[in-house]
Amino acid sequence: MNNELTPKDKAIEMLNNYRPLCGGYNGGKLNKVFAKQCVNFSINEILKVTFEKDSIYYYYLEVQQELEKL
């Protein structure tokens, strides 16, 4: 995974990808909150289909933790 984004960078990337779908960048705080909920939902779906022993599982757990800090 050395060429991939850090969990923080991945959380930011995912959040920025969802923001336009959640009312655009002019939506302010509500837009960001809704986008974070969508990212969190997506991460939960990823976690459901991965196994706890897989590194991708722990990577997305870290992404989820970083998302909460944004």
* Prediction pTM value: 0.83
Q: Which residues have a Cβ under 8 Å from the Cβ of 31 and sit 6 or more positions away? A: 19, 22, 23, 24, 25
Residue whose C-alpha is closest to residue 59's, from 69, 40, 46: 46
Quickly tell me which residue has 């986008």 as its tokens: 35
pLDDT 10s digits, 18-66? 988 887 556 566 788 889 999 999 999 999 999 888 999 999 999 999 9
User: ∠ CA 8-13-16 to the nearest 5 degrees?
Assistant: 125
pLDDT number for residue 2: 44
pLDDT number for residue 59: 95
Give yes or no for residue 17 having a pLDDT over 60: yes
